[in-house]
Structure 1
């Protein structure tokens, strides 16, 4: 048997921790980070549409929920907040190294959050929502509250409230849990994102294995073949 410079046989190599490691397939959102759907049927809550900076919707909603009143209503927390979201499973590819698939959430209404106020807006609640720090920035990340010129902020009407309740019910039921290619329809041009055909263009056929696998039809030298890829590796062609 060949031996190394220290006289040991090559078959004595030890397995490294990397060889023994197990990579998790799915990493769900932690419960504390998952979007919260409030009770949208509380009659005492009046709902308003607030604007915020992009990518600040969820953090602004969390800050509004913790906001407390001052003055004669010191310590009250009369606010609820809701950011309608959709959820995806995504697996990043870094230097051909496949990392665990992670669940991500994305606001459906960019720049907007829905704020509920117990009893409706008044001077005290408006002051809490408009509170600013020493630099003059809103402490919650809010930019404004939608309303009517000359009348101020206005609550959501009946039609908007019905849409909001349907959206909340869908989110609780899991209807807004979408796959990475949920918007891709059969027949659309797609690009393979992994495997030996990575980068090749083809036609999207459909889903398999409960939506976790995508089927692509590739044409090469007048020959058509069907390729099966993880659904997160099927990308719409630019």
Structure 2
């Protein structure tokens, strides 16, 4: 069952100026009327509608509109509080007929539904209470569903934040690691320069020492004294 409605609707009353109402309980499967119960607030009589699909098909054909459009309007008429503007509902107790008339522009009978006395077991109050309980249960389900949805959303948010935190920490770690690598590379270069400079100085000193030794160890010519003249 798609939906159940319980509405108080103003009734057309030609006999007096007093406003009369009916309590209309209707059950729908999408746009298809499945059940219809009426309780007259003035006489307290209860009726059950005889739902015949062919009656709606014939009425839609006479009005030259699609069945879907016809049922859409009928649903609005029977489920709008007090009544839908441009339409009136008439209850014929003698012939046990409920008529829906379109009063806008041109007065046209929109539908005529045959009625019968409702089963004595039928109590509109019970239906109303059942509907209230159904709505309450539906609301509780919606509350639970909303709470569950919020909880799932919160968990997803925490996981997302955790993932973002991990990414930030990883980026920070890589940054620190690169800085450390750069510092190590710089120190290695400086050590290489120091080591290279030390070797150059040592080689220069060794060259000077070798040169001095060579001069000291060089071969000498014998000293020749000049001859004396006699």
Structure with more relative contact order (C-alpha pairs < 8 Å, separation 6 or more)? 1
- Asked if TM exceeds 0.5, the reply is no
- How high is the TM-score relative to the length of structure 1? 0.28
More strand by share: 1
